[in-house]
Amino acid sequence: MPTTEKITWYPVSDRLPDDEMTVLLWHPEMDEPVWLGYHLDGGWFAADSFPLPDGTVLYWAEMLAGPEKTSTCNCRADIEEMLLARFIEQSPEATEHKASLTGYGFLFSGTGLEMKGCMPFETTAKFPLKKGGVKAKTQKQSMMFNYCPFCGEKYPDQKKTG
């Protein structure tokens, strides 16, 4: 079954990948403008270590995950970016704006620690006390989503232990 994968191209003037991390790069002067490469000590190199002339790489993107990718979608980062932009627009007089979606938790998956969306919930009941009477107890917990609530992509399966 064909699958699709989203690519986010970052202008090199905005941000750069970590040194020596293999990424997709876009250098439009070349016959094949999309190539594999990495950034190191201020310069760009093709994946085979061939140095690329300064100023020719204009955009880069994170390496593709492949048709059976295990990494999760980018919705959280995308939405936080959008919320932050709106917040800055609404409060231009303020500084050091931050916006984050709080309904996320860490979960072990086949590939390691993954961030998954979750729905917080509360349980409340009246528990009997030894000395008689009852006391209401409320517990806060979270229920993990199996699918991203924004794009519907399935999160990686939880690691089976034992």
Q: Judged by CB under 5 A, which of 151, 154, 157, 159 binds Zn ion?
A: 151
DSSP bridge partners of 126: 136
Angle at alpha carbon of residue 124, lines to 123 and 128, rounded to 5°? 130
| Direct distance between the N- and C-terminal alpha carbons of the chain, in angstroms, rounded to an integer | 32
Which segments of the chain are extended strands (E)?
9-11, 23-26, 34-40, 43-46, 51-52, 59-62, 104-109, 112-128, 134-144
Q: Is there binding between residue 148 and Zn ion (CB under 5 A)?
A: yes
Nearest CB to Zn ion, comparing residues 23 and 73: 73
**Minimum gap (Å) between residue 151 Cβ and Zn ion:** 3
The site string for Zn ion over 68-97 (x = CB under 5 A, - otherwise) reads -----x-x----------------------
CB of 76 to Zn ion, least distance (A): 8
Residues that bind Zn ion (CB under 5 A): 73, 75, 148, 150-151, 153
